[in-house]
Structure 1
Amino acid sequence: MAREEEDLLLPEESADLLQELEEENDLFHFVRVEKEPEIGEAGPGPGTLAQRNALLERQLGAKLRTFDDTEEVEKVIEENEEAGHIIRMDHSLEARWRLAHNLDVDHPMDGSSSLPDKAFAPFASEMDWRIAEWVVKDGIGHKSFDRLLAIPGVKEKLPRAGEWKTRKLRFKDDESSNDFILRHRDILECVQSLWGDPALADHLVYKPKKIFQDAGKTKRVYSEMWEGKWWQFTQDLLPKGSTVAPLIIATDKTQLTQFSGSKQAYPVYLTLGNIPKALRRKPSQQVCILLAYLPVDKMPKDGLPKRELSSRYQRLFHEAMRLIFSPLREAGRKGVEMVGGDGAVRLVHPILASYVADFPEQCLVTCSKYGTCPKCRVAAAELSSSSSFPRRTKDWTLQVMEEARRSSSSDAQYFAYCMRKEVSGYTFRPFWDDLPFTDIHFSITPDVLHQLYQGVLKHLISWCQDILGSSELDRRIPSLPPSFGVRHFKNGISALSQISGTERKNMGKILLGCLVGSDMPRDALTAVRSILDFLYLAQYSTHDDDTLSYMADALNLWHAKKSSFVDLAVHDDLNIPKFHTLQHYVEMIRFFGCTDNYNTEMFERLHIDYAKKGWRASNKREEFPQMTKWLVRQENIQSFNKELSWVIEQQRLQLLQKKQDSIPVSTPPSTTTLLLPKEPTAPSKALSLIESGHRVPMFASNLRRYLAMLKPGSSRAEVEGGLVKSLPFNALDVYYSFKFSPETLDDDSSIKDVVKATPLKGGRFDTVVILTGDSAETASFTGTRIGRVKVIFHLPSQLTLIGTYKSPSPSWWPTSVLAYVEWYSAPSQTPLEQKSHNMTTVHKLPLIEGITPWSIVPLSNIRQSCMLMPRYDKQNLDRATWTSSNVLDKATHFLVNNWSSLYTYKTLYKD
C-alpha cells in the first residue's frame, strides 16, 4: 500500500475540538467559526495527548482549518474633496412627511413599530390602508380601484408618482403620416425622486474615489462607478463643489404577447451611478425608474422605399429621445439644486454616463453603420484584427454628418456618403448632439448578456458542434453528474430552440469539459478556453490592475489561436462585431467600473414589473394609457409604504437616542459560514440504513475507528485492531444537504453554495473541495483535496447504555456536524494540459481493505462544492449504462470543472 493512500485512513494533522452549532429559531441555523477549538479534552498527561495527536495527524482533513490571510493588506482610499459639497440643509421633506402623517416635530414615541391611526391619513386607520394596498397589489379591477379613489380625500392626499406626459410626433415632410405617441416623464423629476429618497440617503455616493490594493498605490481597484476614471475626469470639468449624477439609461424593446400577436413595448429605464450596484441589481429596492414608453406603432408604408422606411424608424427614435433628454441640456451644463433624503442640498449635474443596450440598438443610438463597432473606427473587414483603432467621438460623427449634408443634394446622396464613412445614413440629427459632457460613443458600455453569452458563446458552441458533430456533444452532456448551479441537459443541446441567456450560461459551464479528449485540435480547444477565461473574468464584481491584465492575456491568447476555426472551415472569417467588442472591455471597466454596473440582464428583469404586468392588467385595447395608470398606482403604494417605513424608523431612532447611554449597540459577528436545516432530515437513522442507502458499507466500522482515534491514551495498534468493538448507539441524526456562504475574493456574502448527500431519487452525493492543509489559499488548490460527501451526520449527545438509562456522550466526541467523505487523488495537471484547457485531473484511488479511502471531517472544512466531469479520453463512454446519477460511480478519471460557477472559477482557476 502506497504511503499516500495509507495516510488517508488515519488523521494527518493534530485535530482540535470542533465548535458547536448555534441554534436559531427559524428553519435554518447558522454555524459561526470564530476560533479553533480542540477536539475532545486533554488526556491524562502530555505523553498520552501527544500520542493521540500523532494518530489524528494522519487522517486527511480532520483538523478545523481556515484560509491563510497573511497577505491581506488594508486598502488605500483617496476621495475627491472638491466634489459633492453641501450648499445648505433643507428639511422640508421631513416636515412635509410629518405633516402628511399628522406627526408633530416632538411627536411622542412609545418605542413600538406600530403607528397611531392618524399617521395613515388620508386613510382612517391602518386597516383601511392595508385594504387599499391589497386592492392595488393583488390586481383588483380598475373600476374597483376607481371607487376606492372616490372616497373623499384619498385621491388628493395619496402620494403621487411622477406625472406622465403624452407627446405626439409627426414627420414634417409628410402631412398624411399618422401621429406617433411618446409617453414619458420629466427626467429631472425622476432624478430628483431617486436623489431625495430617504431610504437611499445613507447609500448615495457624491464623490469620486480612487481605491488601491496596496500602500504604494500601484494597484488600483475598480468596482463601483464612482471608482472608475470617467467620474473623476468629468468632475474636473465642473465647478468646485459640484456633484455629478451619472445617469445610466437603458432601452430595450420587449414582447408583451406570449404566444400570438405582436404587441410590443419600448421602455426607457433610468437609474443613477451614485447608488451602489448591490441595490441597483435588486428590483425590490425600486431604484430603477421607468422613464418613458417610446412609440412602437407600425410605420405606414404608403409606397415608401425600404431605405426611407428604415430612416423614419430611426429618426422617430432620435426625436423621441431628444424630447426626453431636453431638460438635461441646461441642467447638465449649469447644474440644478437637489435635496437629498437627508436634507442636504447640493448643486447636481445630471449627465448621461452609461447607455445600456444590445448591439443593434447600440448602432441605432450612436448612428453607427450596422455591423461596425459603435466605439471605434475599425472597418467592417478588419473587425477580427487585434490592433487598436481611432475612437469614434461625438464630434467626429457630427462632422461626418455635416460633410454629408454639404456635399449632398438628396437623401440618397447623404445616405451613401455617411455609409462610406461607416456612419448611419438614416439619421440627420441625433438626440445627443448637444448633451453636455457626454460622448455617446464612449458612453456605450459592455453588455455581458448579449455580447458574450448570446453572441460570442453562441458562435463558439455552434462551431464546436460543427467540429465534433452535434451527436457527439449530445452523447456526452447527458452523462454529466449533477452539481449545484449547473443545469442538466438530459437530452443534449442540439434540439433546443429559442435559447435564453440563462440556458446559454449553463451551456458555457460544461462546454470545455465536454471538448477535452475529443477530436478538436489543440489550438481550437485553447481558443475556447481563452474565451471562457475572458467571459468569466469580465463578470468579476471587483477588478484590479492584475485581474484586468488577466483579461488582456486571455484576449491575446484568443487572437493567437482563433485562426484554427477558419482553418477548420466552420466560418469564413471572424469579422464579427461581438467578438471585436472584447477589445473595449478592459478600458470600459477602468472608466465605468465593473460590468455588473451596466449589464442589460439587470434591466431585462424590469420588463416584468414595468411592462408585462401592466399589460396583463389592461383590457388589451388602447393599452398604454392603462399601463401608465396601473404603474402610477403601484408607485403610489410603494411611495406610501416608504413614508411609513421612514416614520417607523424615526420612532426607532428617537428611542435609541434616549437610551444610547444605557443600551450599548452591537452588531452580530460576520463569520457565518454554514446553514443547516433546523432539524435533521433523517433523525435517528439506523446505521444499517445509512450503510445501504448512502452506499458506505463500512460506515459503522470506520466510525468506530474514528472515535477510537479520539479517545485519550489510544495507540495506533489499538485503533487498527479495533479498540472500540461496538458503538454505544445504533442510529444517527443525518442531514441530506447544507448551505453555506464560501469565502470569496469579493467578500460577497450573498453567495450561497449547496452540498447534497441524499439517498433519495437514485442518490446524489456531491463532490466538494476540502481544506486539508494550513497553506490553503483562496485562489488555488494548495492545501485542499477533493472528496465526495457520503454522509452528513451528528453524533448523539446522550447515550442509552442500560435499559432506558441515559448518560452524556464522552467528552472527547465532536459536538458539531461531521461529514463522511471518500477521497479522490490529489489534483494534477501536466504542462500541456495547462496550456490547452487548464483543467486539473483527479482519479479514483485504489481500494484499501476493500473500501475507498475515507475521512470524517468537520463540515466547516468544506470550502465549496465542485463539479467533476468524466475524462472521455481516459475511458470509453458507455451511453447505455452511464447516467447522470451513476457516472461518479462508474467513471474513474475526472476533470475538475473550473466553469461550474463564477465563484468556482475565481477560486479554482489558477493561471
Structure 2
Amino acid sequence: MSQPRSGCNTWLDELIKFNSTLPPSEDGTSQPPDSHHASEQGENSYHEQEEYFNRGGNWGTDCEAEVTNYFPEPPLAFEEGYTFLSLFDADEKSVHRKTNLYYPFSSQREWEIASWLLCLGLSMGKIDSFLLLEMGNMLGTCSRSYLVVQLSSDKMCITALIGDHVAYLLLISLTNIHMNTRLKSSLNTFLLTALLPVPKFVHRKKQMKGVLQDWLVHQCLDVVLEPLKLAARLGIMMSDPIGHSHYCFTPLASYIADTPEAMMLTCVGGKTSPVTMAMYKQFGDAFRHEPRTKSTTLAQLDVVHSHADPHNLEAFFHEAQKFRLNGIEKPFWSDWPLAEPSCFFTPESLHHIHKQFYNHDVQWITSTVGDSKLDFWFSILQPTTGYRHFHGGISKLKQVTSLCHRDIQ
C-alpha cells in the first residue's frame, strides 16, 4: 500500500481521477460507468501502466502535464478596462516622462532650482524677473553644476592695549550649504581664504591714504579671487565626495560686509548708498531709488578714465567724486561674470539689524526720555533665560559686543 503506482492501488481511484479530467459530454449529462465496462477498462489501464513503467516513464508527471481544467460559465472579461498606472500613459505628456522624470523641467538640476525658488517665499512676479536674468537662464541649464560663492571680509583687532595690530580676514563659503549647517560655527563652513594687508601709506594728504588703501584691497581681491572668476567664466571640472566629476561654475551670490566696507567695495564715496543711486540727501525719500548696477558704475569709471589719468591719483579722485565714486580704478568684480553689486551685497543681522538698532534707535530714545529713565526701564525688566539682564541699565556700558547689541534689542 505504500507504493502509489503498484497493483495494490485500486483501479477505481485511477478511474475517478481520469474521468475528472475529461470534458463534459455534449448533452451536458454524466453517465455512470457500467461495472463490466469499468472492469475491463480498469484491467486495460493497469496493463498500460505496468508496460509504461517497464519502459522507464513517469505516469503521474506526464498525465499531469496534459491536464486541462474546464470551468463552466466563467465570468466575462472586457479589454476596455484601465489600471492606476494606465492613467499616467493617458497623459499627453507621458511620452516625455518616459525619458525624463522631471518633465516639464529639462533635468533634476532645473527642478531643484524651481523648488528652491518656491521655498524662498517669493512672489511669482519676482521669480519671473529672476528667470529673465542671464544668471537665471544659466542656472537653468542641465549640464552645469553651480557652486554659488559667498564671501565675507572684516577687520579684526588682534591686540588690546599693546599696539594697533589688525587682521583683515577674507572668508569664503557656499550658499549650497544648508542654512542650519552654515550657522553653526563649530562646523567651519566659512574658510579663511586670505589675510589682506593693512599697510600705512605715506602721503601728505590723509584722504589719499585712504584711496591708496582701497586700491590695494581691490587689487588683492582681484588676485586672490581670480581662480573663482575664471571658473565662473569658463567652468572647471571638480569631483564630489563620492568621486563623480562635475562641470562647475562659481558665480558670486553674496558678500557679507558692514556698510563702510560695502561702500568701499562698490567704489562709492561717503554718505552714498552702496546698492542704490541714492545719496545722503535722498535717504528719506518715500520710494526706492534705482539700483546701482554693475554697468552703471563701470560706465561712470570709463568717463572718469577719459578725463584723468589713473596714475595721477589726485586728479583721478577729483574726477571720480563728480559721480560720487571713491577713486578706484578697477573694481575686483568688474570681470566676474554675473557679479552684480546691487544684488550680492545682502543685509546681515549684525550690522543691519542689531548694530543699527543700538547706534540709531537707542540713541533716539535716549535723547527723548533721558539716560536715567531708560536705565530704570531696563533694570525692572523680567530676566529671560538665554538673554543678558541689564540690572544697571545700558547708558554706561563699555566694550559693547554684538551679543550685547542683540540682547538690548
TM-score category by the smaller chain? 0.5 to 0.7
Alpha-carbon contact 2:106-2:142 (below 8 Å) kept: no
- Tell me how far 1:312 sits from its aligned partner: 1.0
> 208, 216, 229: which is aligned to 2:113?
208
For the structure 1 residues 394 and 488, does the alpha-carbon distance in structure 2 shift closer, same or farther, using more than 3 Å as the test?
Answer: same
> 366, 373, 380: which is aligned to 1:479?
380
Q: How does 1:470-869 map to 2 (within 5 A)?
A: 470-508=371-409
For the structure 1 residues 504 and 78, does the alpha-carbon distance in structure 2 shift closer, same or farther, using more than 3 Å as the test?
Answer: farther
Alpha-carbon contact 1:329-1:434 (below 8 Å) kept: yes
Amino acid at match of 1:469: G
Q: Which residue of 1 aligns with 2:267?
A: 367
Residue 401 (str. 1) matches residue 295 (str. 2): no
Q: Which residue of 2 aligns with 1:274?
A: 176
Q: Which residue of 2 aligns with 1:243?
A: 145
For the structure 1 residues 79 and 418, does the alpha-carbon distance in structure 2 shift closer, same or farther, using more than 3 Å as the test?
Answer: farther
Structure 2 gaps, min length 5: 1-101
SS state at 1:208 partner = helix
CA distance in 1, matches of 2:198, 2:143: 42
> 193, 199, 214: which is aligned to 1:291?
193
For the structure 1 residues 349 and 83, does the alpha-carbon distance in structure 2 shift closer, same or farther, using more than 3 Å as the test?
Answer: farther
Amino acid at match of 2:319: Y
Q: Which residue of 1 aligns with 2:98?
A: none
Residue 330 (str. 1) matches residue 235 (str. 2): no
CA distance in 2, matches of 1:240, 1:459: 47
Q: Which residue of 2 aligns with 1:462?
A: 363
**Number of residue pairs matched by the alignment:** 299
Alpha-carbon contact 1:244-1:350 (below 8 Å) kept: yes
> 391, 406, 413: which is aligned to 2:315?
413
Whichever structure has more helix as a proportion of its residues is 2
Q: Which residue of 2 aligns with 1:222?
A: 120
Query: Percent of pairs identical after alignment?
Result: 25
CA distance in 2, matches of 1:273, 1:327: 18
Q: Which has the larger radius of gyration?
A: 2
SS state at 1:253 partner = strand
Alpha-carbon contact 1:478-1:490 (below 8 Å) kept: yes
> 422, 435, 443: which is aligned to 2:324?
422
Q: Which residue of 2 aligns with 1:314?
A: 214
SS state at 1:360 partner = helix
- Tell me how far 1:354 sits from its aligned partner: 0.6
CA distance in 1, matches of 2:177, 2:364: 41
CA distance in 2, matches of 1:478, 1:445: 35
- Tell me how far 1:458 sits from its aligned partner: 2.5
Amino acid at match of 1:380: Y
SS state at 1:249 partner = strand
Q: Which residue of 2 aligns with 1:737?
A: none
Residue 447 (str. 1) matches residue 348 (str. 2): yes
SS state at 1:271 partner = strand
Q: Which residue of 2 aligns with 1:186?
A: none
For the structure 1 residues 507 and 407, does the alpha-carbon distance in structure 2 shift closer, same or farther, using more than 3 Å as the test?
Answer: same
Residue 388 (str. 1) matches residue 288 (str. 2): yes
Alpha-carbon contact 2:292-2:341 (below 8 Å) kept: no
Alpha-carbon contact 2:150-2:173 (below 8 Å) kept: yes
- Tell me how far 1:289 sits from its aligned partner: 1.2
CA distance in 1, matches of 2:149, 2:112: 15
Q: Which residue of 1 aligns with 2:89?
A: none
CA distance in 1, matches of 2:116, 2:298: 36
CA distance in 2, matches of 1:338, 1:223: 32
SS state at 1:252 partner = strand
Whichever structure has more strand as a proportion of its residues is 1
- Tell me how far 1:207 sits from its aligned partner: 3.9
Q: Which residue of 2 aligns with 1:352?
A: 252
Q: Which residue of 1 aligns with 2:32?
A: none
Amino acid at match of 1:366: T
- Tell me how far 1:307 sits from its aligned partner: 2.7
Alpha-carbon contact 1:248-1:352 (below 8 Å) kept: yes
Alpha-carbon contact 2:229-2:250 (below 8 Å) kept: no
Listed one character per residue, the Cα deviations across residues 18-71 of structure 1 (whole Å, up to 9, x for unaligned) are xxxxxxxxxxxxxxxxxxxxxxxxxxxxxxxxxxxxxxxxxxxxxxxxxxxxxx
Alpha-carbon contact 1:404-1:418 (below 8 Å) kept: yes
After TM superposition, which residue ranges in structure 1, 4 or more long, deviate above 6 angstroms?
A: none
- Tell me how far 1:211 sits from its aligned partner: 5.8
CA distance in 2, matches of 1:223, 1:291: 32
CA-atom RMSD in angstroms? 2.6
Structure 1 gaps, min length 5: 1-76, 86-205, 213-219, 509-911
SS state at 1:354 partner = strand
- Tell me how far 1:231 sits from its aligned partner: 8.1
CA distance in 2, matches of 1:294, 1:282: 25
Structure having greater relative contact order (Cα 8 Å, sep ≥ 6): 1
CA distance in 1, matches of 2:358, 2:104: 39
